Amino acid sequence: MTIYRCAHAWIDGQVVDEVDVIVADGRITAIQPARLVGDIVRLDGLVLPGFANAHSHAFHRALRGRTHADGGTFWTWRQAMYALAAALEPQSYLELARATYAEMALAGITCVGEFHYLHHRGDGTPYDDPNAMGEVLRQAAREAGIRLTLLDTCYLAGGLGADGVLPIAPEQVRFSDGSVQAWVERVSAIAADEGMRVGAAIHSVRAVPREAMTTIAEWATGRPLHAHLSEQVAENQACRQAYGLSPTEVMAEAGVLGPESTMVHATHLSSSDILLLGEARAVACFCPTTERDLADGIGPARALLDAGCSLSLGSDQHAVIDLIEEARALEMHERLASGERGRFTPGELISALTGVGHRSLGWSDAGSIAVGQRADLVCITLDSVRTAGANPDQALLAASAADVQQVICDGRQIVRDGRHVLGDVATGLRDAIEATWSRARA
Ligand SMILES: [Zn+2]
């Protein structure tokens, strides 16, 4: 049994001062005023539940700081992403993903949803284990000390033309299983474990024919089901041309929308799209630092919440891995778009960071500091140059990932005094990224 003595902890939607969180076997067993004696670990700051990063493509981390030259557009970014994807093999993917997940742990992330489509060899043939690349992600998360939901992504088509989906392009061939039946067969062989759940993802209306979406949704019954939705205006236009429907309407007709489904980005929506998503009680996963990096636009987060959706957050392409910044950006982008402050309460932002994110990844027993929950605790210092003087209940509007000092995941401390148990994560990232790009150039 370990006693975590929290100076301030986020419990039941408010900050509670001087409280002991008692942990045994990875679970919270009691919460009471600070007066116990015994094996005490002091968490001197604001203690939040573990953060869930509900949308990640781990390998995109290697694109950070490399896509801004020559006025880089979304499409030049995408060419760089394809070149990178082509250079990855299981061993190099492991090194990159492990370092990326360790960076996430340093930012307070205790669970990641990996939207995984890098399935096969560069020529599209399967590895000896057809799930070798997914297994690499399992190992990477385990070594970084965080939980994983593998959102195995169906990716079958090369875009949308006027008459429906286009054939897969050569640079996308390693993403594809060839048919939805082959995808079902492959993902059905992946076993969950104590640290990993398996869910499904539909890449987008661009990459999955609508008949296949129904098969994927059926397979995913009782599991998380994620999809990219209306990230770009061009996607909506192509979808209307092909089907006479918006991407949301296509997903609704195919049976994709429901409380276990998470629509990622949800940027360019009509008011009837928002109603459909709200009626389905779907989760909308916003990735504000990616959406601004790629010039996607600002999605209707407040309107979705008011319509009945829940909101979660993801760092997606990892231009930034700082979920505190994602949460703050949810509010700040709304302020810019609406001309109003206070669009979300701090409690709503924390809920997106923690409880909703975990639920959208299939971990309903994580994401709050409560008895019986997984012992995931994130301590943010209130003594840094950024946070000094802030009220604890508003520190989220001042802090950054650099203020995350202690992280406990499933009762195990994976970040201590701002250092990850694996050691020097920056060197791990640099080595993995440089090695990958040198293979991409070769
Ligand atoms: Zn994405």
Q: What is the pLDDT of residues 270-304, one digit of tens each?
A: 999 999 999 999 999 999 999 998 888 999 999 99
Length of the chain: 442
Quickly count: other Cβ atoms within 10 Å of residue 387's Cβ.
Answer: 21
Query: Average pLDDT for residues 394-407, to the nearest whole number?
Result: 97
Q: 226: part of which helix (H) or strand (E)?
A: strand 225-229
C-alpha–C-alpha distance, residues 77 and 73, integer Å: 6
CA 273 to chain centre: 23
Q: What's the gap in Å between 165 CA and the centre of ligand 1?
A: 20
C-alpha–C-alpha distance, residues 301 and 333, integer Å: 9
**CA triple 183-260-211, angle to 5 deg:** 40
Q: What is the DSSP letter of 374?
A: B
Catalytic residue among 296, 316, 322, 376: 316
Both tokens of 254, joined, read 């195919």
Q: With CA atoms as reference, report the closest residue to 133 among 118, 152, 155.
A: 118
Q: What's the gap in Å between 298 CA and the centre of ligand 1?
A: 15
Active site residue 316: yes
List the beta bridge partners of residue 380.
Answer: 46, 404
Ranges 34-43, 102-111, 122-131, 195-204: which has the least confidence: 34-43
Q: 215: part of which helix (H) or strand (E)?
A: helix 210-219
Active site residue 265: yes
Q: What's the gap in Å between 354 CA and the centre of ligand 1?
A: 19
Catalytic residue among 57, 265, 268, 333: 265
Both tokens of 114, joined, read 């990996």
Q: What is the DSSP letter of 295?
A: T
Q: 355, 368 in Cβ contact below 8 A?
A: yes
Ranges 33-42, 84-93, 150-159, 358-367: which has the least confidence: 33-42
At 372 the three-state DSSP class reads coil
Q: Which amino acid is at 69?
A: A
pTM of the model as a whole? 0.97
Both tokens of 257, joined, read 């929308």
